[in-house]
Each structure stands twice: as C-alpha cells, then as structure tokens.
A and B are shown apart, each in its own frame.
Chain A
Amino acid sequence: MRPSIWRSVAGCLLMVGAGPVPLVPFQRYTLANGLTVIFAPNHDVPTVTVDVTYHVGSKNERPGRTGFAHLFEHVMFTGSGHVPYGMQDRLTEGVGGMGDAMTHYDRTSFFESVPSNYLEDALWLESDRMGFLLDSLTQAKLDNQRDVVKNERRQHIDNQPYGRNTELIDAALYPPDYPYRWLILGSMADLSAASLDDVRQFFRRWYGPENATLTIAGDFDPRQATVWVRRYFADLARGSAPATRPAVAPIRLAAKRRLTYQDRVPSPQLTLAWPTVGESSPERPALEILGDLLGVERTSRLTATLVYERGAAAEVVAVEHANESAGEFVITMTPTPGHTLTELEAAADSVIDRLRREGPTADEVQRATAERAFFNIRNLESNMGRARALSTGQVFHDDPDFVTKDVARMRALTPHDVQRVAERYLSRGRVTLSVVPIGQLGAASHPDQSTEVH
C-alpha cells in the first residue's frame, strides 16, 4: 500500500513560510531540446495518463486565419510519419483506454489514459506526432478534418440555442486584432481559406519540444519511463523559431456596449461581461470567489435574490474566466415568464452595487473557498486530473505545484479582497448582450439603446 501523504493535506494547506506540502508529488526535468518532463507516479489503479501540452492556442493566430490551433488539434489525430491513420485509436480506445485533446486560447493539450502496460506505446504516439506529423499530412486529410470541424461548430454554436454568445460578446469586448477576440473554433470563412502550407507553417512554428510539456501520471515506473522518454523525444528538433507569444494586456471598457441578437430560442437571455485579469494576476483568485458568491450556490447573492426571493430568474450563472494574459467576468441570467431582461439587469446592478459598497460577509467567503478547495482536491483523484493540474501549473506558471499554492492563497482571501476586485472590475464599462426570440427585438434590455448584431 502506497504511503499516504494525503492525511496531512488538510492541515498543511495552512502552512505559510515553508510552503504547503504538494497536493501531487512530482519530479521534473528538462531535455536538451527544451522538452519539460513531469512524472507523478501513483499505483492506486493500473492505468496511466500521458499529457502533452503545447504552449500555443487560438491566441497565437491572426485575423483571417482563425481556428488554426483547433483545426490543428484535429489533424494531430490523422496519423503521423510512423503511425498510420487509425493506429492512435487502436492504441487508446482499442485497448480499453481513451485519447482526446482540447484547444484553449493559450494552450493545446493532447492526452491518453491507457492500461499501464501501454505507456511506451502512448509515448511513441505523442513523440511521433511531435516530430513527424508533417510527413503524413495531405490535402485530403486536411479537407476532411476541416469538414469535421465545421460540423463541430454547427453542433455547438450555430445549431445550439444561445450558441453564439461568446462570439458576439468577445467581438464587442475586444479590438479587432486582440488575440482573445476570435473563437477557438474560428470562423467558417477562415476555416475554408486554410491552406496546407498555412497549416505546415503553424506546426513548425509552435509544435516543437521546447514549447511542450510532457506529463506522465499514474501506474508507472519512473526509471523505465526515463529511458522511454529519452528514446522517443530526445532527438526531436526544436521549432522553426523561438516561441514568442503576443503581448496581451488586460483591457478596460470606457462605457456600456449594448447588443441585441435574434436567435431560435424559447426565452430571452441576458449576459453581462466585464474584461478582467489573467491567470497569474494576484487578483484572479478573488475574482473566482466573487463569481461563486454572486451566482453559484442557491445562497449566492444573485441566485438568492433573483431565483429564490423574487422568482424573476430561472437560472443565474456567474463565472470568472481567466485566460493566460486577460480574462472576463460573465453573468448570464434567464428570466421566468412574465419577467423582462430590463428588470433582471436592474436587479443585478442593484445586487452588485451593494456588494461593491459593503463587501461580502466572512461566512460567504469561507463557504465559497471551502467549496473550491474541496473541488480542487476532488479533481486530483484521477490520473487525468493530476496530469492536468501539473501541466497547467508548468505551462502557465513554470511551477507544476501551482495548484497547491493556489488553494492556500484562496483559503487566505478576506472579504476585503473580494470587495476590492468587485469595485475595480465590475464597473459600468461592460458588454450587455440580450439574446431574444426571432421577431422580439423589444424583449432586449433597454431595447432603444441596444444595437442589433448578426
């Protein structure tokens, strides 16, 4: 039975000075070609997760060529120089595991969870597509995956009630060349315009070992894994140019921007969005707690007032989305029949203004931080959760143990910390989006002051 350091977790999270005991024990080293390698052995279940995260995302694209990082993610599953198409699925799903990927604004992660005896195969797959993807990339493969991605866009955005919210809000929130403005999925027009050469350039630029972190979490022997990592990754060449990322500064809005959008929806919906800070900002934890106590539990301020007391809203969601360099605080509210978006906006403003003036109570903050701490620990139960926490910490903070410090920092938040970020960021300058049923422009919040978008 493995020795358990977990028993000391709850107490140790409150240590300061010496720093808390890591929630996930790990080792880290770097190869000569720049690849960062993280090991987190755990023998509870005979499975292992491999995660390769590249520090590239939609943020690294440019207008006219959006959707590339995500299209690229799809291309990575079509085979590579020594791996024929279909072999990846055979060595993941076909052996009782799974393999998938996700593209974000700032990073793209590829991961497999497989029975422990398939670790070497998983490393071989990831190394081959890091080093030899272009050898097998053809126009036909690109065209096919382009079509799949277009269907993904249809399913999640165009054919989905309220599916266009993010795209519309970000277009209003950010200037045209701001890297977080366009959707990760990109636009249909840009996807159609992507050429094979565009895609090759993108790969050479961003998918080298120096821009990647390899994390192995689960049932494996680190000494054997070290041998395999060297065998498969050590000789891979670096990218075509040093990985530089666009300098992205958080923005502020001077005034409200009101938008109305007609959609095939049964009910109007109101979204308020303010620009905020990025991952590394010391204010980000307080903004996350602010979201929790405004709109998550039934006793959160907006939910309690609008859903339970007044019955004016069917649902309220409040979330801080922090990307690497900047973020958004978003509140979405759906009214119950007989209540209007104008009413919801006024009620939300009243709740927010009071919170900015008086701050939250200590009990509210304690409840929100206790829930967050609990979920952080829950996420570390699986190999996948551990791998993700380690790789995210490494890629964004050069610290695989970032989650441990983040939990400790969050537990130390005070009501004044939360009040301060509410004052600073939930100001009048925001985007207000009303989504209304077709033909009901009057159902928008303050319809006479709202601009219709398409």
Chain B
Amino acid sequence: MPPAGPAPIFHPPVWTESTLSNGARLVVLPRRGLPLVAVAIHFEGGADQFEPPGKHGVAQLTARTMNDGTTTRSGDQLSMALARVGAEFWTAIGAEDGAIRLVVLREHLATALGLAADELLHPTFPAAAVARRKSLALVALRQQELTGSYLDSSAFAHVVYGPGHPYGWVIDSAIIASLTRDDLVAFHAAYFRPAHAVITVVGDVDVASARQLLETAFAGWRSGSGPVSYHYPSLAPGRPTAIYLMDRPGAAQSSILVGLPGPPRTTPDYYALEVLNKIVGGLFQSRINHIIREEKGWTYRVSSMFAYGHGPGAFTIGGDVVTAKTDSAILIVLRELRGVQGGRPFTEDEIAQAKAALIQSLPARFATVDGTGAAIGQLYTDDLPRDYYAQYASRVQAVTVTDLLRVANQYLDLAHLAIVVAGDRAAIGASLATLGVGPVVALDAHYEPAGENR
C-alpha cells in the first residue's frame, strides 16, 4: 500500500459579520471560482418553536405557498422570472430551523434577490393556492405512509416522545385539512423576521457589494420580536424495551428503527458520541453494517446516528432487512450495542478510522458555495462557537477509549429501547414475539397500541 502524503492543511473559512439596518445578521465570504453566488437566510427556530398547538404542518405549508404569488407577481410570474435568469430558489422549515436559499450566476444576483425579497416580504397566499397546496400535501402524506421508513420514524416519534412533545409531533391529515389561509398568514408574520435571521452570502461577490445589495433588497423587512428560546417539556421515563410492530402485508423487507432519546447538540460529550457513532453504524465498515450487510447479506445498508438538536434528539439505528431475517437482525443490533459497552473492546484501528473520517471529511463541506453557506449558518442555528471548525480536529483527536466506554454506557440504555418494525406481520409476528427482547406491541394507523397485543 502506498504511503499517504503529508496531510493538507485545512484553512477554516474566515468571514466578516455585521448587522443590516433591518436587524438581520449578515455574513459575507467572498470566493473566486465559478461565477456563482449562494445567498441563504437562516432562521433560528423552526416548526417546534413557532407552530401554534394543534397546527403541526402549517410551517411547511406556509413555506410552499409563499411561491404562489405576491402583491405584484403571480406564482407563474415568479417562477418564470427566476427561470429566465437560471437560479435555484427554495424555502424550507424544519423542526428547529428554517432557511430561504438562493443560488444564482453572479450577473443575475440583483434580479434574483429582488424576486426572493418579494416572496419573503409580500406573499398573498391566494385562497385557491392554499386549497391546492393542502390537497397536494394530503396526497403526498398518503404516499409516504406506504413506505416502511416513514412509518418507522413516525411511530418512533409518537411512541418515544409522545404527542405532547414537539419531537413527537407527526403529520396528521385531519390537521392539514383544517388549516386555513389565516393560519398561513399568521405563521408567516410570526416566523419570517430579521430578528432571528442570519444571512450568509458566499461566492463571487465582495463584502461591500453584498451588503449594499441586501440592504436594498430587504429594506422593507420589519424586525419583529427578539431571539428564539427553545423550551421542551420534560420527558416521561422511558418504557422498558419493547417491539412496536406495524403491518405491511407482503413486504419483501422489514424497515427497522431502534433507539431512544439522546442528548442535545451542546452536550460536552458531542465529540465522543460522534466517534462512537462512526464505530457503531456511521461508516460502511461500521460494526452493524459490516455484519448485517457484508457478512450476512441481509440488507443494502443499515446505519446509526445521533440527532441531537436543542432538545433530547434521538439516537437511532435503522435500515431495511430481508423479511425472513428481521428477528436475527434485531438480535445482532442489540448484541453490538452491548459490545460497544464493553463486551467487544474498541480497537485502535477502529478509533483511528472513526476520527479520520470525522476530521478529514471537514474540508469537503466547503467545496460548493451553498454548502459553505449552510456550514456557516449552522453555527448560528445550532448555537455553536464561531471557531467551531478551527477547533474541530483537536476536539475529535482528544477523545479517548475511556470516553467512548463512558458515553456508550451512559447514553445507550438498552433496558429502555424502542424497537420499531414495519413489516409483514403474518411472516414475522410470531418470531418477534418469542425473541425474548421485550413484548410485541402492534400499532394501529395512529401509532397507538392496537386492540389485541401479545
């Protein structure tokens, strides 16, 4: 094997930060290369902080319907104007943050910003558009509810966090159907405010020009209320480990999702958990993927992750396995979780690879203008220090075997796992019931325990 050359020096990006007249923070990072500019407005806080009770889904519905017309342009005119200059433009709101993103050729930046500002500041939410978007959302939901992975993640959220916790909210067709135009107008007015916005501009533009263009485009943006606070209700103690089963008759594979609530993003154990995760299921050659895919041939991929977040985001292991091996795959997952708690010691090689995978993948996040903007914006929405990228390598390197064992035992409570399975109940129900892992709870279409349970 040829020796590797000396490691290239990674220079984390350096940017200037200022504040616009409207109160939004502005980050500009000039880059020469292709004549592209990526502008992103990152919003701190998301659906979990801004959706009123009983209106889960209004955030995404609002984001989509903003495309359907402003006070001066119809939805068609907006679409055509963007297409004429050639641009990518989209708005999305997640659980704890949101973003409006624009990527455009440098020569059309001013025009594209004008269109983006028009959508952001002056949407009209025409009644016909609201009705159409609701109808499309319901169709999309019906399609998603047929896939194992969607059923798994919805059931997991409901079972582990419960409907009273934002992490337990599941899209409900009755709620979507009940949303009104007034709901969208109210959400838009509350959410899209410069007070909790950070605008990143990356690409072929200098700081002064960027600032001037943004001041002009967003001059009319009124400030709104102050910083966001993230409050989550405390969680009930976890239930003893159980298997939650949803029926997909005739399914060729079972979708499996195993996990429990985990720590927030700001946990001091973040770096140790990231190294641990790479070893468990975060790499192709991680323990569970190597065994279940490469050794056994039962899956195309299984993987693991810590979701973190401002609240207790979950640790999960998931994947699709051939139906006949559903029970065996679950046993392997549990065995490997016990393994990282001490049953199967970490090798120096595993740890070195996990650290290298984390540290050396960092530069690639800055390969594109919008990737760079997203990486910078994340520091603001996730409450991370400005020198996060500069410190990253040393923080990862500092993780020890002792740290890994400690966090594996502290955070992987094997006695209180939710094992969610969407598969052919007739084929797998009996074997799961006798697996000895925990009771099997059949779930209905609302992710509640169904009538008869073993």
Contacts and interface: CB of A to CB of B under 8 A. Distances in A.
A175 interface: no
B356 A148 contact: no
B36 A45 contact: no
Contact of A297 (B83, B252, B367): B83
Contacts of A150: 297, 322
How many residues of B sit at the interface, in one of the four size bands?
A: 35 or more
Most buried by B among A117, A337, A374, A382: A374
A381 B368 contact: yes
A314 B140 CA distance: 8
A113 B136 contact: no
Interface stretch (B72-80, B189-197, B256-264, B376-384): B72-80
B361 A96 contact: yes
Given A1-B32, A94-B285, A87 B146 contact: no
Interface stretch (A238-246, A319-327, A361-369, A425-433): A361-369
B1 A87 contact: yes
Given A96-B361, A297-B79, A337-B139, A380 B320 contact: no
Interface stretch (A3-11, A165-173, A252-260, A274-282): A3-11
Interface string B357-373: 11111111011110000
Interface stretch (A58-66, A202-210, A264-272): A264-272
B360 A96 contact: yes
A121 B143 contact: no
A89 B356 CA distance: 12
Interface in A1-31: 1-2, 4, 6-7, 9-10
A49 B86 CA distance: 27
Interface stretch (A151-159, A351-359, A389-397): A151-159
Interface residues of A, number: 78
Contact of A148 (B86, B105, B297): B297
B84 A370 contact: yes
B86 A117 contact: no
A299 interface: yes
Contacts of B84: 363, 366-367, 370
B322 A89 contact: no
A311 B134 CA distance: 11
A399 interface: no
Interface stretch (B4-12, B18-26, B113-121, B162-170): B4-12
A118 to B, nearest CB: 5
Nearest to A308: B132
Interface in B12-36: 31-36
B148 interface: yes
A340 interface: no
A26 to B, nearest CB: 16
A144 interface: yes
Contacts of A10: 35, 105, 107
Contact of A381 (B2, B80, B297, B367): B367
B105 A117 contact: no
B300 A311 contact: no
A381 B148 CA distance: 35
A94 B357 contact: yes
Contacts of B251: 159
B147 interface: yes
B299 interface: yes
A265 B358 CA distance: 40
Contacts of A314: 135-136, 139-140
B361 A97 contact: yes
B367 A374 contact: no
A208 B251 CA distance: 41
Contacts of A415: none
Interface in A93-125: 93-97, 113, 115-121, 124
A55 to B, nearest CB: 26
B145 interface: yes
Interface string A75-99: 0000000010011011101111100
Interface in B219-268: 248-253
B360 A370 contact: no
B88 interface: yes
B179 interface: no
A160 B293 CA distance: 20
Q: Is the interface of A mostly helix, strand, loop or mixed?
A: helix
Given A266-B143, A367-B80, A368-B83, A47 B363 contact: yes
A380 B293 CA distance: 33
B298 interface: yes
B364 A47 contact: yes
Contacts of A336: 135-136, 139
B353 A90 contact: yes
Interface string B283-326: 11100000001111111100000000000000000001110000
B142 interface: yes
B87 interface: yes
Contacts of B358: 96
A378 interface: yes
Contacts of A382: 367-368
Nearest to A334: B139
Given A90-B353, A304-B76, A381 B36 contact: yes
A155 B423 CA distance: 12
A94 B35 contact: no
A217 B77 CA distance: 40
A47 B252 contact: no
A46 interface: yes
Given A94-B357, A95-B4, A115-B363, A267 B285 contact: no
Contacts of B8: 46, 115-117, 219
A257 B362 CA distance: 52
A347 interface: no
A135 interface: no
A399 B83 CA distance: 29
Nearest to A7: B35
Given A10-B107, A297-B83, A377-B34, A115 B147 contact: no
B2 A155 contact: no
A9 B33 CA distance: 11
B333 interface: no
A40 to B, nearest CB: 14
Nearest to B251: A159
B367 A144 contact: no
B169 to A, nearest CB: 22
Contacts of B1: 83, 87, 91, 121, 124
A437 B140 CA distance: 16
Nearest to A87: B1
Contacts of B293: 148, 151
B368 A374 contact: no
B367 A44 contact: yes
B253 A159 contact: yes
A235 interface: no
A37 B95 CA distance: 47
B88 A120 contact: no
Contact of A266 (B33, B104, B107, B142): B142
A378 B36 contact: yes
Contact of A97 (B3, B9, B85, B360): B360
A236 B430 CA distance: 55
A378 B363 contact: no
B160 interface: no
Contacts of A343: none
B103 interface: yes
Given A113-B364, A117-B6, A367-B80, A93 B284 contact: yes
Interface in B328-366: 353, 356-364, 366
A3 to B, nearest CB: 9
Given A151-B322, A370-B86, 10 more contacts: A89-B283, A117-B5, A121-B1, A151-B299, A158-B252, A219-B8, A299-B79, A308-B75, A377-B34, A377-B35
The 9 closest A-B pairs by CB, nearest first: A96-B360, A147-B297, A374-B86, A46-B8, A117-B5, A367-B83, A96-B361, A94-B353, A314-B139
8 contacts: A86-B285, A93-B285, A95-B356, A96-B361, A119-B5, A155-B253, A159-B252, A299-B79
